Chains A and B, each alone.
Chain A
């Protein structure tokens, strides 16, 4: 009974942790631009991250390898280094965007000047990482992130045309503005399948000492955690579609995102939305920060792990510390976090194949995986998503340039 409770808690934390700044920006922008007609893309993205993380979790549990162990072993030092550099650049961009998001929400909550809040965000994140046990970090940020459920309530309260909403789940393409539509497709997929999530998940599985006995837990976590997390993405898009599209509002600010909850639900809605965003993005920032350090340490063979303690893994510790400081510095220059988020998501989409492919290869390797290697179903999904990811990676930058970041 206790085990079921533990699993449920873990899943709750995963749901709250699913949404990050990229999902917020792109789901709301997509809803404001195209209403409900991109909902089906979110489904594709959620299934994609489930497939990818399940494989990473299984690879970690059976072969004791995290993502960048697999990348280096499968791609070798040269090509693997390219994958590492790409992943790290994207991870850094993402962290900066998240820190920016945190500072903005703090500003909305406190009315203090933005520049004062960047150091506050830094101290808050640093304190959480340094003083809290990992499980407590996941719980605190995950549960508080669940405040985002206010958007589900808001979506219902806004009484959208549910027929249109249902139609949004049917694969389609907006022929009025196909290029911008494709751009948002790429953005939504990139935001749903953010690379740092799997780096973090895979490393976490090894830190937890997962064995083949945990494969059921792995499947539960990924399917239910990300699946239900997808509901939050739907809610964001539906509220935006119901509220912003008719008014012609294109949310350029995070405050506008929170409007999606304030208009139907008042001050309570606004507060819950802001708290939810703060902790969802805050948790994401911590995960991103660690992913950077995990990747570096795993590629070069350093000691790594939050559980090892800072003194046992000095380079690993320095890596995430330095990255956090750099990200805060970038945000302190006054760069627009929403724009930064869009770049982070688009470049994430470009880098995605470089780390997806080695995992797919290792997941198929019976010498590493024994009887737990990909079966036929896993490979059908695995290969289909490889094609999806390759298409997204190749199309991302051209679409970004042609549509001027979705402005059309």
Chain B
């Protein structure tokens, strides 16, 4: 079995781009969920990628973080690590963004753009 790749989370995963199998950009890794209270012999793991303004207060403490979250709409999506295909320069997902509830920001504005006369 090949040796597992060592990587540091803040350096190699956090704040990286999420990309779905169609190549669609669907957010950044805003935070990570960790499972640390484990049985003896079980390794501590990353269980989910957290995406969205709801998770910004965790990164920017205090009133500014809360204001930012509200400006961004307050949404958030928890993407299970099972849905991560691979980690390269981006975090590549195994399922399309729409299935995972990602990219909703763009979905919300698409009708507005499509209504422009010459789009």
Could you tell me which A residues sit within 8 Å of B by CB distance?
Answer: 63-65, 69, 72-73, 76-78, 80-81, 130-131, 297, 299-304, 310-311, 313-315, 317-318, 367-368
Contact = CB atoms under 8 A, between A and B. Distances in A.
A224 to B, nearest CB: 29
Contacts of B9: none
B59 A77 contact: yes
B16 interface: yes
Interface residues of B, number: 32
B112 A304 contact: no
Contact of A310 (B12, B30, B113): B113
Tell me which of B25, B105, B110 has the highest count of chain A C-beta atoms within 10 A of its own C-beta.
Answer: B25
A56 to B, nearest CB: 16
Top 9 A-B pairs, shortest CB-CB distance:
A301-B28, A314-B109, A77-B59, A301-B27, A314-B113, A303-B25, A314-B110, A72-B15, A78-B60
A19 to B, nearest CB: 31
Q: Is the interface of A mostly helix, strand, loop or mixed?
A: helix
Contacts of A318: 109, 112-113
A80 B68 CA distance: 14
Contacts of B68: 81
Contacts of B12: 367
Q: Is the interface of B mostly helix, strand, loop or mixed?
A: mixed
B56 A302 contact: no
Contacts, number: 69
20 contacts: A64-B89, A69-B17, A72-B28, A76-B10, A78-B59, A78-B60, A80-B15, A130-B118, A301-B17, A301-B26, A301-B28, A302-B25, A303-B25, A303-B26, A304-B25, A311-B119, A313-B106, A314-B106, A314-B110, A314-B113
Given A65-B89, A311-B114, A302 B105 contact: yes
A63 B90 CA distance: 10
A315 B118 contact: no
B103 interface: yes
B18 interface: yes
Nearest to B90: A64
A36 B103 CA distance: 54
Contacts of A302: 25, 27, 105-106
B116 A76 contact: no
B113 A311 contact: yes
A314 B112 contact: yes
B70 interface: no
A73 B15 contact: yes
B17 A303 contact: no
Contacts of A315: 105-106, 109
